[in-house]
Structure 1
Amino acid sequence: MIRDGKPEGFFYLDHRTVDMKYNLITDVHVTPGNVHDSVPYLSRLDRQQKRFEFQVEAIALDSGYLTTPICRGLQSRNIFAVVALRRFHSEQGLFPKWKFTFYAEQELFVCAAGQELKYRTTDRKGYQKYASDPEQCKNCPFLNECTQSKNHPKVVTRHVWEDSKDWVRNNWISKSGKQLYRKRKETIERSFADTIELHGFRYCRLCGLPNVREQALMTVAVQNMKKMAIHLDRWETRGNPLVFPFAGSH
């Protein structure tokens, strides 16, 4: 695993889903460290909905999940999605992408100097490319702040599913979105912290994906049993009969 701000080396990743109401872990999936967080997400979400018949209304994810396929997938599933925004930094001294205004009906971007960047092509990954006229760019006062191309054209890309990502960004800045994301620190982050600090999950006991998966499942089972015991105790102290409140989510 090689990531900014993380130690480099051989790792496994624990991809985990936590219920917001009771803080129960509803899914755990182990992959090698070189598998990006976003890769297994939608398939694990569908698995939980199918297996447990969960009616998922909303989800909160960190910035590693802010990809166009995930945004598109959640929007098509009619799930309110809140994903932390990434802070992309353009090359030093160059205009960031948000300096260019996109006009969907005309299918073009407009730069700070007012020049139009028109649609050129769409690559195999679904990114539409918009390019400026190099003859106009070479005399532009912002040329050195806009592009380092020797032929002077400026190219801006936009994914065909970018509208779904814009929908997620709007959710993030909404009042309900901010409230939902605050819950994430109280659930999933606390779950991982307990796993590492209280259950020895900082290191795997045995090598190999099947062995690490077994350790993860056993650890999660213990955490869930502790959570259930706590909630059952609270349930009984409130004067309710001792009935398991999580029935139906086996």
Structure 2
Amino acid sequence: MKHHHISFKEYTMDNLTLPSHIADLIPPDNMAHVVHEMVERIPMETFLPYYKGGGTSSYHPKMMTKIILYAYTQKMYHGREIARQLEVHLPLMWLSGFQKPDFRSINRFRSERMKGLIDDLFREMITLLVADGYVNMEDYFVDGTKIEANANRYTFVWRKSAEKYQEKLQANVDQLIAQIDAIVEEENAEEIDASPAFTSKEIRKKTEEWEKRLEAEPDNQPLKKAVKKMKEDYLPRSEKYEHQLQVCGDRNSYSKTDADATFMRLKENHMRNGQLKPAYNVQVGSSDQFVLGYSLHQRPGDTRCLLPHLETVREKYGVVPKRVTADAVYGSEENYVKLEEKNISAFIKYNTYEKENTRKVKKNPHHPQNWTYKKEEDVWICANGKKLVRIGTSKQTTESGYTSVIQHYQCHECEGCPFRSVCTTSKYGRTTQWNPVYHEQKQKARERLESEEGQARYRQRQTDIESVFGQIKQNRGFRRFVLRGLQKISIEWGLICVAHNLLKKAAKDKQRSLAA
């Protein structure tokens, strides 16, 4: 049996020296290079306003920005983890210039310095991407996603509960006051009208009033008991409910761990059964899979976030798109009208868009869609040729102050109509409602969507914005914020978006070089 000669590569750990350029050790297509180049191109003036000067010297803002952005592209979201990696992770060490800020410095930079800086940083990055021809600003694909808050999932405050408890407490307070004041004034409790609901201030005032009385009559046991009850039970509870309702504001709930977070249904786990978790609603606009703008909201529904979102990105990032493409959730009358006022073409379906196209609706003679409207008489003509006359008008106003007008029509000739049973179950006759403004907007939306341009846009929507969320949540595992409070999570989401754009730029560069 013959032995083959075995050879090993030379290996020694003596006299090892690093090459004079550490950068040469880092592969040319590593994200560290992209982060380094892009942050270097941002003028120092962007960072300076966020430093006061005086005191001890700070870490260089470009260095801190680079290590945080690079960490975010590598799925490192925690300050402690970034600090740990600064000891061992070569690209990170190179970006930091071998300085080692501890996790406190990293966290402080992220949550305090970045407060105003993040908006400027995001805007500067977009400006560079536009200048380099990666992004066009004209098309804008919007969608929302919910990101879980960094908060306990089981300690929440529901506004309805707080209101209910508050009412019960009010009743007890009323009763006690009626009882004590009636005894003192030796009248019958019956004569005292149920007082208006007491605020904690009024409860405190009443308690002080009673305490004065106690000094005059120290042996008054019922009074003594009442004062104790007020001070130790009713007053603190009253203050608690008032505080809870104040924190809720116009929301239905909040989390005790992060009071800015609202409970929302997240369709997270593999069973697809949404669970209520404290979360934020993140609205993002993209173009060519780059994030062009984002805004954070405390309400679960997407519909009413669109206009505030567009306002935010215009103000903060100077993004004014020509065309907005979004899901049917955004197709409200207010959204259509306001976009038209801003001269933005809306490629947005409305909730009944698909349904109106179905054979069932098109073939159903009793669907108002298939009736005739006679403008001069202001009547609808039903399948049997009878008139539905206008019986009234109602108005609806959204919380942002937009009013829509709905007209109501009713048929008074349903008696004995052969189609009655298939047409209506009402014993008063068939009714229908119509909103002329919304109707007109829906027509326009349908025309835009059915054009070739519209169909292409709508198809692109799925690959565009949906894949941005996919990459952030699936590929980079960012499903839950690390920080707490609206202001800090806004910073965090901004970092996620800048990191996403840098990764996208790197991917595009790779494609370009392969194509070349």
- For normalisation by structure 1, the TM-score amounts to 0.78
Give a deviation string over 1:140-196, Cα, whole Å, max 9, x none: 222222222232241323253431222112111121110111110121000011111
Alignment of 1:64-213 (within 5 A): 64-87=329-352, 95-104=366-375, 106-125=377-396, 126-134=404-412, 136-213=413-490
1:232 Cα shift?
4.5
Q: Distance in 2 between matches of 1:167 and 1:47?
A: 26
1:9 alignment counterpart: 276
Q: Distance in 2 between matches of 1:131 and 1:187?
A: 43
Aligned length: 233
Q: Which amino acid aligns with 1:68?
A: E
Q: Distance in 1 between matches of 2:486 and 2:290?
A: 24
From the two aligned structures, give the one with the greater helix fraction.
2
CA contact (8 A) 1:108 1:130 kept: no
CA contact (8 A) 2:294 2:313 kept: no
1:229 Cα shift?
2.7
Secondary structure of the structure 2 residue equivalent to 1:228: helix
1:100 Cα shift?
3.2
Q: Distance in 1 between matches of 2:503 and 2:392?
A: 55
Secondary structure of the structure 2 residue equivalent to 1:40: helix
Q: Distance in 2 between matches of 1:181 and 1:113?
A: 39
Q: Distance in 2 between matches of 1:76 and 1:128?
A: 21
More off after superposition, 151-160 vs 58-67 = 151-160
Q: Distance in 1 between matches of 2:265 and 2:376?
A: 41
1:28 alignment counterpart: 294
Q: Distance in 2 between matches of 1:137 and 1:108?
A: 15
Q: Which amino acid aligns with 1:215?
A: E
CA contact (8 A) 2:292 2:319 kept: no
Give a deviation string over 1:20-66, Cα, whole Å, max 9, x none: xx32111122223x432121212322333454444522121101011
User: CA RMSD for the aligned pairs?
Assistant: 3.1
More off after superposition, 54-63 vs 198-207 = 198-207
CA contact (8 A) 2:393 2:408 kept: no
1:116 Cα shift?
2.4
The reply on whether 1:214 has 2:491 as its aligned counterpart is yes
Secondary structure of the structure 2 residue equivalent to 1:137: coil
1:208 Cα shift?
4.0
Q: Which amino acid aligns with 2:291?
A: I
Q: Equivalent of 1:58, from 323, 326, 344?
A: 323
1:206 Cα shift?
4.6
Extract unaligned runs of 5+ from structure 1.
240-250
Secondary structure of the structure 2 residue equivalent to 1:200: coil
CA contact (8 A) 1:109 1:130 kept: no
1:212 Cα shift?
3.5
Q: Distance in 1 between matches of 2:315 and 2:511?
A: 30
Q: Distance in 1 between matches of 2:419 and 2:386?
A: 11
Q: Equivalent of 2:286, from 18, 32, 49?
A: 18
Q: Distance in 2 between matches of 1:150 and 1:208?
A: 54
CA contact (8 A) 1:68 1:164 kept: yes
CA contact (8 A) 1:38 1:67 kept: yes
- C-alpha spacing 1:172/1:24, structure 2 compared with 1 (3 Å): same
- C-alpha spacing 1:107/1:202, structure 2 compared with 1 (3 Å): farther
1:98 Cα shift?
2.0
Q: Distance in 1 between matches of 2:266 and 2:365?
A: 24
Secondary structure of the structure 2 residue equivalent to 1:230: helix
Q: Distance in 2 between matches of 1:217 and 1:210?
A: 11
2:115 alignment counterpart: none
Q: Distance in 1 between matches of 2:265 and 2:511?
A: 44
- Is the radius of gyration larger for structure 1 or structure 2? 2
Secondary structure of the structure 1 residue equivalent to 2:324: strand
CA contact (8 A) 1:103 1:109 kept: yes
Identity of aligned residues (%): 20
Q: Distance in 2 between matches of 1:94 and 1:3?
A: 40
Extract unaligned runs of 5+ from structure 2.
1-263, 357-363, 397-403
Give a deviation string over 1:204-228, Cα, whole Å, max 9, x none: 3355434443332221121011122
Q: Which amino acid aligns with 1:108?
A: V
- For normalisation by structure 2, the TM-score amounts to 0.40
Q: Which amino acid aligns with 1:28?
A: Y
Secondary structure of the structure 2 residue equivalent to 1:132: strand
Q: Distance in 2 between matches of 1:8 and 1:94?
A: 41
1:12 Cα shift?
2.4
